[in-house]
Amino acid sequence: MKKIKLLLGTIAVIGGLFLFSGQTTYASTTHWDRAPKALKGEWQTATHKTPKKYSNSENRYYWKNLEVTNKIFQLNTFMLNKHKVHDYESGPHGAYSHVYSMAFEKVSSRRYYVWGSMLNYGSSKAQAGFGIVLSHSHKHLKLYSFKAKMKHGYVDFTNRHYEGYYRRGMSH
């Protein structure tokens, strides 16, 4: 009788541990062509000085702009002259809903992965991937870019590169 109670108790404890260990606080969810509300809008970096070896009178300073909508995750770099005026755009890049749908994957309450087509035109099947870490107040974010490759039906991120620290609603 004691052996049966001990066996049933052990099974109940192991079963309970198995059930509770399978529950995670944040399940990774992917939304296609639907940006999270916390990410939508315009994000901008502060003005930075261009490194001396790349600098001249036309591009002494720069700042970056990030635009997030349901179909666009676009980065623009704006160059300023030595008087911090006359900015020009160096060309957009990012992830788009063009050949592939845009994917927004929520990894935790403040971490996201974004991937989609690298170009907004043509038929290139190259992919771009980004990682985002939001601040607790959702007013700042850190942005990382990745090389994104499709492997066996899922996206593999390699070669992380820090893109910058962005603020919401800052104007230049």
Range of the domain at 144: 27-168
The structural domain count of the chain equals 1
pLDDT number for residue 169: 77
Which string of DSSP letters, residue by residue, matches 26-57? S--EEEES---TTT-EEEEPPPEEPPGGG--S
Asked if residue 135 belongs to a domain, the reply is: yes
Closest C-alpha among 100, 98, 108 to residue 131? 108
Write out pLDDT tens, residues 104-114: 999 998 999 99
Q: Is residue 113 one of the residues assigned to a domain?
A: yes
Residue 14 lies in a domain: no
- Read off the DSSP letter of residue 3: H
Q: Is residue 20 part of a domain?
A: no
Report if residue 22 sits inside a domain: no
CA distance 130 to 104: 10
116 lies in some domain: yes
The whole model's pTM is what? 0.75
Residue range 108-150, pLDDT digits in tens: 989 999 988 887 666 667 788 999 999 999 999 999 999 888 7
Residue 47 falls within a domain, yes or no?
yes
Domain contains 21: no
Task: Give CA–CA dist 128/146, Å, rounded.
Answer: 7
